Amino acid sequence: MKKYFFNGLLMMFAAVSLYGCGGGGGGASTAASTINAAISGTAATGAAIAGGTVDFVCANGATGTTVTADDGTYTMNLTGVTLPCAVKVTVPATQQKLYSIVESGATTANVTPLSHILSTVIFGANPDTVFANFSTYSSLITTDNIAAAHTKVKAALTSIGIDVTNYDLLKTSFTATNGSTSGDALDQKLDQVVHTLALAEKSLTQIGTALAASNSSNVTSVTATAIGPAASALDDCPYVRGGKYWTFLYDGGTMSGGSNVTKWNIDISANPMTANVVGSNTNYLVQKLTSGGTPVKCAFTITMPTSVVTSYFSKSGVFAWKQVFSNNSVTFGMGVPVQSNLNLNDAAFAGNYPAITYASVQSGGQYLMNGGPSYFNVDSSGNLKFASCSTSGTSPTCGAPSTSNTSTNSACTTNTDGLITCTSADGNSTLKAFAMVNQQRPSLFLVQSGTINGASYTGVTIATKAITLKLPSLGATQDTSTAWYFYRAPKNNANTTWNFYSGDTISGTATTVASLNSVDSFYTISSGLSYYLNKPTDGMYWIPNVTNSSFPNGSGKSISLNTGGGWTIRTSSMPTSTVYDGFDIFISKPN
């Protein structure tokens, strides 16, 4: 397939030009003299912004530029400047712009979604415009205006279940998620803000502009109107919000209703909570999953006439689900928040995408499962170029993306609620695709069906924009968070029985980095597992045969896709096989 066409709307979180209103307020805080200043801070969207370009412009027109470290931190030594200053950070993967300010006397300026919203409220104008004409707006950075903006933004976020009452949105020191390091409490608030706006399909600038036009008496109603159904959230799991979600089976198979994708609507504001398939008049009861009488955070059950669906949510809103039928048969799949205002032709989507593909092919009267790594490139026009990947050698490899064969081109329909349908030129295959922005890295989900050489097949390809994974430090403690998994185990041969596991908990046993190999880019942890980074391509990691694995199948090989959104996709193989026919979905339990 060569090209996907998404509706021509701006990508989520890109700064958009909207009407402005006056900043108002007073309280002198501007500097009157030229000084030298060392400014530091952390740039993050929940995940640290690594390698981000940091640009400064100050009241007297002085400028400066630096780059963020892997953990999102930066330090900038400014010479001959007049405070206040404006700060802009450009995210490398998407070219998203985030803004902040440095007030007179300040030495810290974090650059986050919170600082971006706060800055927009202070200026009452698009941050792009402010940064380009900062001398015109710098006088609005006063003590009173900053305090008033803090009050307004905190009240707005509290009204939608995100409590940042105890934080200075510009200066509070925090740790952002990076590598195997988990973010702290403030970083988790950033995750919540990013996810809420993604589900609401609103940019940071849109929300900031709406709040700038509000007042203390209507900030709650203005926020609810701006964010819509996603304003409703659960007290103990703000990552679960009202709205629409696409769901699909792990192998792209047909779901109830006859389609291989189903759109659900979750009504969080209802008491009790309900969910329904969009277009249906039937509401199903949604309850919190309990274990030993205690509610399980971010996990829910939906009771249906002949089955119970249990869903486990990640911090990005992507979730895994299992469905247990009255005859005790089980299946599982994924759910993704609907985002319809996305444009694959936007420059933010351009780049390389490592992916995991898993397919079910009917052959000889049975369905054969086959998975493995895949890899493609999206150019600035939305064209897709695919690479060839192989697992037949001693280690998995992927070649460079090349222009797609014209015989695989597909014609695609108009975007509807974030979903498009494409049909191959020969009419043998149908593909349904949707996308979502997760932190700084877009993800694409492709659900396929049709025939291959006369055999029926269904399948999924799940991809996240590539980053280069980096080796940890020797002796570093690995992330000890726990996770849910949904797992179809690999087989020794076509005649053995499939083993299926789902909903179990993987213990977060602490491990340390025992050895490093910078030449081959792999490290070994104290439990004996070795992780080969960026193999078979950037953004993936390969685990060769092990004998003391905590994975459900014991020993074997596996290839995992790093997403940075609290969910991981893995395909696995038996120790002596080159066929990766196992498939896993891991959901890290939200804090």
DSSP one-letter string for 152-180: HHHHHHHHTT---TT--TTT-----BBTT
pLDDT in tens, 82-123: 999 999 999 988 888 999 999 999 999 999 999 999 999 999
pLDDT at 13: 24
The tokens describing 537, both together, are 């391509």
DSSP class of residue 261 equals -
What's the chain's average pLDDT? 84
Of the ranges 61-75, 223-237, 519-533, which is most confident? 61-75
pLDDT in tens, 401-458: 876 544 455 666 766 777 877 777 778 888 888 888 766 788 989 999 998 888 899 9
Please give the average per-residue pLDDT across 12-32, as a whole number: 34
In this model, does residue 476 exceed pLDDT 90?
Answer: no
Would you place residue 41 in the very low, low, confident or very high pLDDT band (cuts 50, 70, 90)?
A: very high
Q: Where are the alpha helices (DSSP H) in 19-132?
A: 113-123, 127-132
Task: Report all structural domains of the chain as residue ranges with CATH numbers, in order of start.
Answer: 35-231 (2.60.40.1120), 483-588 (no CATH)
pLDDT at 562: 86
Would you place residue 18 in the very low, low, confident or very high pLDDT band (cuts 50, 70, 90)?
A: very low
Of the ranges 40-44, 323-327, 510-514, which is most confident? 40-44
pLDDT at 234: 83
In this model, does residue 529 exceed pLDDT 90?
Answer: no
Q: What share of the chain in percent tops pLDDT 70?
A: 86
d(CA 235, CA 590): 13
Helix (H) or strand (E) segment spanning residue 143: helix 143-159
Would you place residue 380 in the very low, low, confident or very high pLDDT band (cuts 50, 70, 90)?
A: confident
Would you place residue 236 in the very low, low, confident or very high pLDDT band (cuts 50, 70, 90)?
A: confident
pLDDT at 256: 77
DSSP per-residue codes, 493-542: STTSPPPEEEEEEE-----BEEEEETTTTEEEETTS-EEEET-SSTTEEE
Q: In sequence order, what E strands does 72-116 have? A: 73-81, 85-90, 97-102
Please give the average per-residue pLDDT across 546-562, as a whole number: 66
Q: Cβ(142)–Cβ(26) under 8 Å?
A: yes
DSSP per-residue codes, 272-286: S-EEEETT----EEE
pLDDT at 403: 61
The owner of tokens 């108002």 is 24
Neighbours of 521 (CB within 10 A): 17
In this model, does residue 2 exceed pLDDT 60?
Answer: no
pLDDT at 381: 74
In this model, does residue 329 exceed pLDDT 80?
Answer: yes
Helix (H) or strand (E) segment spanning residue 248: strand 243-249
Q: Tell which residue, 296, 302, 304, 340, has the closest CA to residue 321.
A: 302
**pLDDT: is 503 or 473 the higher one?**
473
Question: Lowest mean pLDDT: which of 212-216, 285-289, 359-363?
Answer: 359-363
Question: Lowest mean pLDDT: which of 30-39, 537-546, 571-580?
Answer: 30-39
Q: Tell which residue, 560, 562, 561, 568, has the closest CA to residue 589.
A: 568
Would you place residue 25 in the very low, low, confident or very high pLDDT band (cuts 50, 70, 90)?
A: very low
pLDDT at 93: 82
pLDDT in tens, 178-226: 877 888 999 999 999 998 998 888 999 999 999 999 998 999 999 999 9
d(CA 137, CA 130): 6
pLDDT at 498: 66
Please give the average per-residue pLDDT across 37-58, as a whole number: 95
d(CA 50, CA 560): 21
Please give the average per-residue pLDDT across 549-578, as a whole number: 78
Indicate the Cα dihedral angle 51, 337, 581, 356, nearest 10°: -30
**pLDDT: is 383 or 151 the higher one?**
151
CA angle 166, 171, 175 (to 5 degrees): 80
pLDDT at 1: 33
pLDDT at 95: 86
Q: In sequence order, what E strands does 393-506 have? A: 397-398, 410-412, 419-424, 429-438, 441-452, 455-464, 483-488, 500-506
Q: Cβ(501)–Cβ(552) under 8 Å?
A: yes
Would you place residue 528 in the very low, low, confident or very high pLDDT band (cuts 50, 70, 90)?
A: confident
d(CA 123, CA 209): 9
Q: Cβ(473)–Cβ(347) under 8 Å?
A: no
**pLDDT: is 156 or 502 the higher one?**
156
pLDDT at 427: 82
pLDDT at 504: 64
